[in-house]
Amino acid sequence: MTLIEGKKVAAEVRAELKAETAAFEAQYGKKVGLAVVLVGEDPASQVYVRNKIKGCEEAGIRSFAHYLPADASQKQVEELVAALAADESVHGILVQLPLPGHLDADRILALIPTEKDVDGFSADNIGKLALNEEGTVACTPFGVMELLRRYHIDPRGKRAVVVGRSNIVGRPMALLLLNADATVTVCHSRTADLKEECARADILVAAIGKPKFIAAEMVKDGAVVIDVGINRVDGKLVGDVDFDEVSKKASFITPVPGGVGPMTIAMLLKNAVACAKRAVR
Ligand code: GUN
């Protein structure tokens, strides 16, 4: 069994980006700029945003952090995003989700121009992915593909099973694997025979959001197992995969923490650099 060390790969990606951002600055006389908007005080979101800002520093990206109170109005958030959209020193805009319940997230995200959509959440970017055209890909599934690539795992011709169909992970993950010539099955809460579907997978991606949901009996011997889950149980981070048991059967497996999580941020930074390069070309 090979442990897929996302933490290590993410550090490599950040180091590569540092060289790219330095070259960008030398050529264009300004830094790559990423704006991060956090509304409210959700503790998990605060940690993610802090790590995103820290990642920017390490990769030589100028970060613009904007913190709004939990009771910020729709108009306040919209005005901020619109201002960032018009700001030439900002190449990418990220609005941390979830937003407080009184806000209309769709209307806020719609104000992010496609060319600054570092999350790849816009209909335009999802459409490009569905058409296998170049665009910005959502950071977490993009990070999974980068891990597969760096561990020389080629999805071509493999049976890939994605458990979860969220707009942020499951759907784009399935499209990426399809674009990489895998035979893709997407499972979800209404899937009949989930266990049998999973047990057929050469590459199994778990993005369900339930701790230790994927048991050893759901995994084929020699499968590649990618755990996207981040669940907090008794103050500890646990993935969607029962790591202790499943790691006995898998050929490759990602740990939680230290697997997919760090890659999400690394790919966000990569997306920001790509947006900046497109803005100047
Ligand atoms: N909340 C959880 N994951 C993400 C993400 O990838 N991007 C944003 N903007 N918010 C998130």
Q: Domain residues for 187?
A: 139-261
Q: Is the CB of 203 under 6 A from ligand 1?
A: no
pLDDT surpasses 90 at 281: no
Give tens-digit pLDDT for 5-53.
999 999 999 999 999 999 999 999 999 999 999 999 999 999 999 999 9
> Residue 94 domain-assigned?
yes
52 is catalytic: yes
Same domain, 143 and 254: yes
Pick the catalytic residue from 31, 96, 242, 270. 96
Same domain, 62 and 170: no
Same domain, 173 and 81: no
Which of 54, 78, 113 is the C-terminal boundary of a domain? 113
> Residue 271 domain-assigned?
no
96 is catalytic: yes
Query: Total domain count for the chain?
Result: 2
Q: What is the pLDDT, as a whole number, of residue 209?
A: 96
Q: Is the CB of 139 under 6 A from ligand 1?
A: yes
Give the CATH number for residue 250: 3.40.50.720
Same domain, 73 and 176: no
Q: Is the CB of 136 under 6 A from ligand 1?
A: no
Whose alpha carbon is nearest atom 8 of ligand 1? 96
Q: Which atom of ligand 1 is nearest to the CA of 140?
A: 6
* 138 Cα–ligand 1 center, Å: 9
pTM for this prediction: 0.97
> Residue 56 domain-assigned?
yes
Q: Is the CB of 117 under 6 A from ligand 1?
A: no
Give the CATH number for residue 88: 3.40.50.10860
Same domain, 146 and 242: yes
Same domain, 168 and 240: yes
Mean pLDDT in residue range 97-101: 97
Give tens-digit pLDDT for 157-185.
999 999 999 999 999 999 999 999 999 99
Same domain, 52 and 89: yes
Same domain, 237 and 194: yes
Q: What is the pLDDT, as a whole number, of residue 263?
A: 98
Q: What is the pLDDT, as a whole number, of residue 47?
A: 95
The DSSP string of the chain is -EE--HHHHHHHHHHHHHHHHHHHHHHHSS--EEEEEEES--HHHHHHHHHHHHHHHHHTPEEEEEEE-TT--HHHHHHHHHHHHH-TT--EEEE-SSPPTTS-HHHHHTTS-GGGBTT--SHHHHHHHHTT-S-PPPHHHHHHHHHHHHTT---TT-EEEEE---TTTHHHHHHHHHHTT-EEEEE-TT-TTHHHHHHT-SEEEE-S--TT-B-GGGS-TT-EEEE---EEETTEEE-SB-HHHHTTT-SEE--SSSSHHHHHHHHHHHHHHHHHHHHH-
Same domain, 252 and 147: yes
pLDDT surpasses 90 at 203: yes
> Residue 198 domain-assigned?
yes
Mean pLDDT in residue range 190-195: 98
* 121 Cα–ligand 1 center, Å: 10
Report the share of the chain in percent with pLDDT over 70: 100
Q: What is the pLDDT, as a whole number, of residue 110?
A: 98
Same domain, 33 and 105: yes
Same domain, 195 and 242: yes
Give tens-digit pLDDT for 215-241.
999 999 999 999 999 999 999 999 999
Q: Is the CB of 36 under 6 A from ligand 1?
A: no
Q: What is the pLDDT, as a whole number, of residue 241?
A: 98
* 186 Cα–ligand 1 center, Å: 21
Same domain, 223 and 169: yes
Q: Which atom of ligand 1 is nearest to the CA of 138?
A: 6
Pick the catalytic residue from 31, 116, 117, 119. 119
**Mean pLDDT, the chain, as a whole number?**
98
> Residue 1 domain-assigned?
no
Mean pLDDT in residue range 265-273: 98
Report the share of the chain in percent with pLDDT over 90: 100
* 63 Cα–ligand 1 center, Å: 16
Q: What is the pLDDT, as a whole number, of residue 111?
A: 98
> Residue 154 domain-assigned?
yes
